[in-house]
Amino acid sequence: MTVTCPPKPPVYITTPIYYVNDQPHVGHAYTSVAADVLARFRRLDGHPVRFLTGTDEHGQKVQRSAEKAGEKEQAFVDRVSERFRTLTRDLHCAPDDFIRTTEPRHRQAVTFLWQTLQEKGWLFRGTYAGWYAVRDEAFYQEGELVHGKAPTGADVEWVEEDSWFFRLSAFQQPLLDFYRQNPGWVGPEGRMQELVSFVSSGLKDLSVSRGAFSWGIPVPGDEGQVVYVWMDALTNYIAALGYPAATPAMADFWPGAVHLMGKDILRFHGVYWPAFLMAAGLPLPRRLFAHGWWTRDGQKMSKSLGNVVDPAVWISHYGADAFRWFLIRHVPFGQDGDFSAESFQHRYVCDLAHDWGNLVQRVLSFVVRHQGGQIPPVHDLTPRDKELLDLGPGILQQVRTWMDQTALHRYPETVWTLVREANRYVDEQKPWALRTTDPARMATVLGVLGRVIVQIAVLLQPLMPVSSQKVLDMLAVPEDSRTFATLEGGVVCPGPVGGEVTPLFPARDGPATPVQQA
Ligand code: MSP
């Protein structure tokens, strides 16, 4: 009788779609890398995965940026969107789709959602008089302002215009009921309380169209108005699955949706989005996770301070893997963190070059020199050998738990217990000394280490795809043996070490120009 495991549930992972008003910075890279780590992990673990990212191209902020650049809106968004696509590639993120809100498929979805809300009686015409922050593309109430600015520090403008409203007030109780019934819906713990407080303090109907400018999706049947950019943008998550068509992607992936975002935009995802979905009769995403905010050397990043971290600088200097490693390893996912050249360099040298790079280097070059590049078979395993070889599957199990909790920073930390153990094993077994005293034992020690290096490289693929692939290629591990199922099913016997063993993370000083160029 063959036992088949039940199929793993589909997972849909999204980043926010990025505004194309400016060039990408570390904040954008952070959400993309986090989402990519999660997506790659789930894929290797046998889940069907869809990973979506893209660009948010409408609204007053983008229109003003195009004007400032002296370009037509479409030409401007085409150009800037391309930069985000390039960043995605440079980061070695592998999304299944990249959506742009100026695409016809997106416009159709927004138009249909609008019509649905209108047919169901959730929209009405009124007059908005209040504060608006173009930088945040958000409305603020008088009481929310701090010293005449938005709570985010953005400038506000007084807006008085006819617009369409969404009956958000009707969703106050349904949202509170939903939060109560799904306490784990938002991570990290504590963030849910923010939503509960905001909604409990009273929801006003939301202005969902603007008439003062034209760069947006026209309101169906009212061409003088464009759809509010947040209603437009949030719809990307279902537009990319084919909505309004009842596609298999919508049926399979939407229930498994996990939205990642920065804490500054949790309110839009945790209040407005579920209200729109409830109003349209659509199911809600499975989970939201709001990560923290990066500062630079303890200061808020801003163009005027000239201290914005440009991902391209760090990637070209240290490589995408090191940049990904730093972002995920350095800061507990969900908390704020500080980006400094010193801490980056420290992690590069200590974690990557020293712990992991050296392990690979010293074991594999020894194998090349003394075993003709062949990872030897293992014989007469000692309890210590077995203990080391058995660590990998347990670590995978632990990491799964962390990923279920979106505790991404725990992932590298946990894999490092194996890296450290392997280094300790080399030091205590001393294969170089065994070469003369007990060559058979030396062969087994190298065999154990080769297998453990494969396990580590397999485990590290979602975090550092480039260097892991390099190690797995050197050891000639077949493509289909690089999944978590093979790691759990028994250690893959690594093939020959091909060619010269070059350092995974060569020595580097910090970059000369660590700030973003205009
Ligand atoms: N377009 C909206 C999202 C619409 S999603 C339906 C938007 N775009 S954004 O480009 O301004 O921001 C995108 C992401 O970058 C947000 O998750 C935001 O939190 C993140 N970050 C921007 N600056 C950041 C830091 N300094 N640190 C960490 N992340 C920050 O909002």
Instruction: Tell me what pLDDT residue 266 has.
Output: 97
Of all protein residues, the one whose alpha carbon is nearest to atom 23 of ligand 1 is 27
Best residue among 13, 14, 15, 19 to mutate for probing ligand 1's pocket (most ligand atoms within 8 Å of CB) is 19
Of all protein residues, the one whose alpha carbon is nearest to atom 12 of ligand 1 is 18
Question: What angle, rounded to 10 degrees, do the helices at 410-429 and 320-330 form?
Answer: 110
How many whole angstroms from 26 Cα to the centroid of ligand 1? 10
Per-chain mean pLDDT for the chain: 94
| 321 phi/psi in degrees, rounded to 5 | -60, -45
The pTM of this model reads: 0.96
CA-based torsion, 430, 501, 367, 437: positive or negative: negative
Name the strand (E) or helix (H) holding 129.
Answer: strand 123-133
How many whole angstroms from 18 Cα to the centroid of ligand 1? 7
Name the strand (E) or helix (H) holding 19.
Answer: strand 18-19
Pairing of strands 49-56, 97-100: parallel
Closest approach atom of ligand 1 to CA 262:
19
Instruction: Tell me what pLDDT residue 152 has.
Output: 87
Above pLDDT 90, what percent of the chain?
Answer: 86
How many whole angstroms from 153 Cα to the centroid of ligand 1? 15
Closest approach atom of ligand 1 to CA 269:
6
Range with lowest mean pLDDT among 262-271, 276-285, 399-408, 486-495: 486-495
Instruction: Tell me what pLDDT residue 491 has.
Output: 67
Instruction: Tell me what pLDDT residue 518 has.
Output: 42
Instruction: Tell me what pLDDT residue 4 has.
Output: 67
pLDDT in tens, 112-130: 999 999 999 999 999 998 8
* Cα 90 → chain centroid: 14
Strand partners, 295: 338
pLDDT in tens, 275-307: 999 999 999 999 999 999 999 988 888 777 788
| 22 pLDDT above the threshold of 60 | yes
Mean pLDDT for 47-67 is 96
Instruction: Tell me what pLDDT residue 249 has.
Output: 96
Instruction: Tell me what pLDDT residue 74 has.
Output: 97
Instruction: Tell me what pLDDT residue 142 has.
Output: 87
pLDDT-derived band at 7, boundaries 50, 70, 90:
confident
Distance from C-alpha of 77 to C-alpha of 336, rounded to nearest angstrom: 30
Give 281's DSSP letter.
Answer: T
Which residues line the pocket of ligand 1, CB cutoff 6 A? 16-19, 27-28, 30-31, 56, 233-234, 236, 261-262, 264-265, 293-294, 301
| 63 pLDDT above the threshold of 60 | yes
Best residue among 293, 338, 339 to mutate for probing ligand 1's pocket (most ligand atoms within 8 Å of CB) is 293
pLDDT-derived band at 517, boundaries 50, 70, 90:
very low
Closest approach atom of ligand 1 to CA 236:
6
Enumerate the H helices of 374-438 as residue ranges.
383-404, 410-429, 431-437
pLDDT-derived band at 465, boundaries 50, 70, 90:
very high
pLDDT-derived band at 143, boundaries 50, 70, 90:
confident
How many whole angstroms from 27 Cα to the centroid of ligand 1? 6
Range with lowest mean pLDDT among 190-194, 459-463, 507-511: 507-511
Enumerate the H helices of 205-319 as residue ranges.
229-234, 236-239, 248-253, 266-267, 273-280, 311-318
Of all protein residues, the one whose alpha carbon is nearest to atom 20 of ligand 1 is 27
Instruction: Tell me what pLDDT residue 479 has.
Output: 92
Of all protein residues, the one whose alpha carbon is nearest to atom 10 of ligand 1 is 18
Please state whether the peptide bond connecting residue 494 to the residue before it is cis, i.e. omega within 30 degrees of 0. no
pLDDT in tens, 469-482: 999 999 999 999 99
pLDDT in tens, 249-277: 999 999 999 999 999 999 999 999 999 99
Mean pLDDT for 31-45 is 98
Of all protein residues, the one whose alpha carbon is nearest to atom 24 of ligand 1 is 27
| 514 pLDDT above the threshold of 70 | no
Of all protein residues, the one whose alpha carbon is nearest to atom 16 of ligand 1 is 262
Listed in sequence order, the residues at least 6 apart from 1 whose beta carbon sits closer than 8 Å to its beta carbon are none
| 39 pLDDT above the threshold of 50 | yes
pLDDT-derived band at 345, boundaries 50, 70, 90:
very high
Best residue among 18, 87, 271, 272 to mutate for probing ligand 1's pocket (most ligand atoms within 8 Å of CB) is 18
Listed in sequence order, the residues at least 6 apart from 6 whose beta carbon sits closer than 8 Å to its beta carbon are none
Q: Which two tokens stand for residue 457?
A: 């490289």
